[in-house]
Each structure stands twice: as structure tokens, then as C-alpha cells.
Structure 1
């Protein structure tokens, strides 16, 4: 506003003296007049509204003083210098507006940059905080898995010793079927010991640190079936033309054990039918576990993979709601994916894939 007042005062004075110009000196006065605009355009920054107001004032002031004081015809007055002065004023105002917009844009850009930098700093701080919390949570989870797995060894050794004592002390009285059951118990204890060792290793390193190994799929599936089948009411159908693959055995066995266990546990048929299919894809090894159970409503296909989510509210039904989420996470840590296809009344098909090892 101060610039507007000062420049208007100068223009008022210049317009007054310019109105007395004669043909002999009008061009010289015009150049002097324009110098004031050029000087103003070097320092002033106005919005377009200010520039328009000033231009209108400039024209009115010069017309007023011309009509009051000039003896030159209007046509001569304009052609000899008046139009030149007007053009200089308009050009100067254009420069003033341009500078205003340039500085405004620069200031806005700097403000936005400062805001973005502040936002990025806050986000980085949040990410660092969440990363630290996640690391602590992972460490606690690993410690928990290690402690639980370690503590399982002692009672398991106790069960093995008891089975051994029974076999030794009752060797003459125990039936042949009892001896077979004791051998089966010893076999299952050995598998459990191997599973605990694998869990300990997994808890310490995660899947990224577990060595890949060649896995005989037929043997692994047979071992998993032995772990989950308890009453001989399940018919297993296995379709696989891949003798072995390279991967993380603890992951594949645990995932298959979870899926087969669910297919048996949730099945409402007298004779349960479970199909296992393994196919060799272009980049992945694909697994499918299907059953003839009650099926799963499509609206629950996402929920079923959420931690602590169960689809049955029956209190007599035992389910922790962590099996499938953990299985899916283990597959995703291997670089694979897990999903299902199912409709109520037509069973369920669970799929998962893992990348081929090069």
C-alpha cells in the first residue's frame, strides 16, 4: 500500500508537469516520465488488482491535467509522446505483477517444501518407532518359542522313558498289539523331537536363516498324515508327480499339517475325504488341499486368515484361531502365497504356492 501511495504521488506530479509539454520538449519529458515507471517496476510487487487500479488512476490523472493545462491537440499529444508513456506504464505494471507472482510462487513452494520435510520427518520417526516395537515383539516371540520348545523336551523324554520301562518290565505280559502301540508311540515321540528341534531353529533364525534342503514329498506327506489321522475315518487321495523339491521342510510340513488337521477337525461327514495335489508350475510349486466338509462362506474367506478369528462359536469346539494365519505368514515369508476357494455345502480347497529354488 505504501508503494501505491508513493508512486501515485509521483505520477500526479509528473502528469501535472507533463500536461504543459510543448511539441519541442514532449519527447524528452516522455522519456523522463517513463523512467519513473521503469524504476518502480524494479522494486515493486503488486497483485493484478493493484496494477489495474493504478493504471486506471494513471490514465485519469493524465487526462485531467491535459484537459486543464495542455494547449496541444489530443491527437498530437498522444502521437508525440502520450502513447509511449502509456505503453511504458502498462509494461511496467506487467513487470510488477510478474514479479509478484514469481515471488509468491517461490514462497509457496518453500512453504510446501518445509511442510513436506516436516511431514517426512514425522513419518520417519513413526517408522523408526514402529520398527523398534516390531523388533522387540519379534525378539519376545522368538524367546517365547525357544522357551516353550525347550520346556517340551523334558516331558517328552519322560514319556519315552515310561514307554521304554513298560516295554522292559512287561515284556512277558504285554500283548503283541500293546508292543505295536508302544513302537508307534516311540516313533511319534521321535517325530515330535525332530519337530521341536526344527521349531527351535526356526525361532532363532526365521525362514530366511533356515537352510534349504531336498525334501521327499511322499515321505513328508506320509509323516504328516501319521501325525493328524487319529481314528481311521479319513480317506486320503494324493496326486503328485514331483518326487522331491528343495525348500524349508519345517515350513511345508507345518503348513500341510495345519491344513490336513483342519480338513479332518472341521469335517462333518462320517467318512472324510481329503485330497492332496502337488503340481509343478513355471515359477512355483503349487499345493492344494481339498475336503468334502461343510465349506466356507465367501464372506469369511479373508476373515479366516486373521489372527484369533474362528468361524464357529461352539464352546465345545477347540480352536485357537492362529493356525491358518501363522501358516499363511510362513508361506509368505518363503515368497509364496495362500488362498482358498469354497462355498457352503461343497467342501473347501486351500491353495498355496512357493517359488522354485534355483
Structure 2
């Protein structure tokens, strides 16, 4: 039998010789419970006398059985080790995920603190600038010459534009952090509601395809339509017979919603800048805006698992297409 510390050897019996070997489990996956329980693998060889067919048959059967058991033990040990290694990797990934989640929670807390600071600490002086400028213009405009009054108006305009920029930045942060609440949304009805709230300075022929439905967050989808329809109204201001269309088409992944206008359009060479924050393709004096709206739209679409892109040509209008992942209908 096996001696102290022996890991390989042979045993002679009346029917033949059997070779054996042991593999210590402590070498596998670092499991401490295995260090005291070695796994045995045995391979049998028989050296039989030439007489006695019954003994020959019995020895052959025993040798074959031991060989099968040895192979089965090898297979079980291999798959068990693979499982232990997989479990170890899973634990490592779980620990890493927990660390990442804690880091993400800390970043979110910092972002909330920053948003609060922006909302209160920066707005307060802006309101003071705008308020005192208005008081100066109303109560002491007679003491100012035309150039002074023009400077005062520029101060008020800049303060108001900065206030709008702060609002847009806060909105961009909110859509990134807010919880996504999916529900069936009547996109046609939502678009008509947004249109009714718009007050463009020029006549626009609005056309909304009936029966548009999507599985989306209704509040966030409204922000998408407010930005896209507001831009369409803005960039058709210099267009005779301005037209804006809301509709959809189907491709292999489902519905593709679009907002199309026949306004100013843009050069597709600059399309890569469209959805970046503070990116503008038109001069501020021609078309007002902060350059944050389309960045907000893209983040909302991304949160729904969709994508957004545009097609346009200078002077021929623009079409903005977006999907909502697999949620649209």
C-alpha cells in the first residue's frame, strides 16, 4: 500500500502488477481545503500467467475497470478545476464591480454638489447683474447717452444668455442622472403638444404623422421633441413657406423617427460637431442658442439604447433621425 509521503509506485498481486500515481489538490486554484485531500489517479497493468483463463478474464476486467475510473477521475478533476478558476474570476470581477460602483456613487454625489453650486452660487450674482442693470435702465436712462444705454443693454443680454446657459447645463446633467421610466408614449400627441407651446415669429406649416407610438420615458422624450422642433422653427425663420414634418420610417431594427424642415440646413462636413456641447454651426447673431440642446438630445437617445444622426444641405433644410433602441413600435 501507499507509504508515508509516497505519491507513485506499484503494487503486485496474485493477478498482476498495478501502477498508481497521486496528484496533490493543493496545486489547484489555491483552495485551502484541498491541501489535505490528494486526488488519486490509477492506471493498472497486468502481468498474468499463461494458464488459468478465469483468472485472466478477471484480471482483465479489473484492469479495464481501473483504467475507466482513472480516466473518469481525470475528466472530473479537469472540469472541477476549470469551475473553481471560473468562480475565482467571478469573485474578482464582483469585487472590482463593487469598487467601481462606489467610485461612481462618489462621482454622482460630487456632480449633485456641483449642480447645486451652479444653480445657486452662480445664478445669484447673475440675477443681481440683470436686476440692477434693469433698474439703471428704467430709473436713470436719461443720465446715459445712447452709447451708454447700448452698453447697458448688452450687459443685460449677456447676463440673460449666461442664465440660459446655466439652465441648459443643469438640464444636460439631469437627463444623465435621472431614472429612466419606460412606458407607452403617443409620440404624435406629444409632438402636437410641444408644437402648441412654441411661438415662432413666422408662419410654419406643421405636419405630424398620426399614430406614432414608442416605448420611452415620456418626460425625456418631450425634451427631445422640444429641442428638435424648437430648432426646426428657429432655422426656418428666414424661409418662405416654412414647413416642419414629424414622422417615422422603418428599417431592419424597427422604427426611425424624424423631424424634417426646409430651413437653413448645414454643410455635412461639419455633421460630426452637431451633438457636442457648446458646438454651433451658425453664428450666434444669426440664430440664438447655447449649443447644448442637441447634446442633451443625444444623451437622452443614448439612454434609450438608440442613436441619432442628421442629413442636411445648406439652404435645403435638415432632417434629424433617431431611434429608441428596441423599444419603439
In the superposition, the TM-score normalised over structure 2's length comes to 0.55
CA-CA distance at 1:311 after TM superposition: 11
* Residue 167 (structure 1) aligned to one of 134, 138, 145: 138
CA-CA distance at 1:5 after TM superposition: 3.1
Residues 37 and 348 (structure 1), Cα distance of their counterparts in 2 relative to 1, 3 Å cut: farther
Instruction: Name 1:278's counterpart in structure 2.
Output: 246
**Larger proportion of helix:** 1
Instruction: Name 1:240's counterpart in structure 2.
Output: 208
CA-CA distance at 1:123 after TM superposition: 0.4
Equivalent position SS for 2:42: coil
Instruction: Name 1:295's counterpart in structure 2.
Output: 268
Instruction: Name 1:340's counterpart in structure 2.
Output: 309
Contact 1:278 1:287 (8 Å CA) reproduced: yes
CA-CA distance at 1:136 after TM superposition: 1.7
Are 2:102 and 1:132 aligned? Answer: yes
Instruction: Name 1:27's counterpart in structure 2.
Output: none
Instruction: Name 1:251's counterpart in structure 2.
Output: 223
Equivalent position SS for 1:278: strand
Q: Distance in 2 between matches of 1:191 and 1:321?
A: 12
Q: How does 1:42-57 map to 2 (within 5 A)?
A: 45-47=41-43, 51=44, 54-55=45-46
In structure 2, list runs of 5 or more residues that go unmatched: 1-5, 21-39, 184-189, 282-289
Q: How does 1:173-322 map to 2 (within 5 A)?
A: 196=167, 199=170, 203=174, 206-208=177-179, 216-222=193-199, 238-240=206-208, 247-248=219-220, 251-252=223-224, 255-256=227-228, 276-279=244-247, 286-289=257-260, 292-296=265-269
In the superposition, the TM-score normalised over structure 1's length comes to 0.51
Residues 329 and 293 (structure 1), Cα distance of their counterparts in 2 relative to 1, 3 Å cut: same
Residues 332 and 116 (structure 1), Cα distance of their counterparts in 2 relative to 1, 3 Å cut: same
CA-CA distance at 1:192 after TM superposition: 5.5
Residues 129 and 340 (structure 1), Cα distance of their counterparts in 2 relative to 1, 3 Å cut: same
Residues 159 and 142 (structure 1), Cα distance of their counterparts in 2 relative to 1, 3 Å cut: same
Are 2:123 and 1:152 aligned? Answer: yes
Instruction: Name 2:28's counterpart in structure 1.
Output: none
Q: Distance in 1 between matches of 2:93 and 2:230?
A: 38
CA-CA distance at 1:329 after TM superposition: 1.6
Q: CA RMSD in A?
A: 5.8
Instruction: Name 1:97's counterpart in structure 2.
Output: 67
**Larger proportion of strand:** 2
Aligned length: 265
CA-CA distance at 1:120 after TM superposition: 0.7
CA-CA distance at 1:92 after TM superposition: 0.6
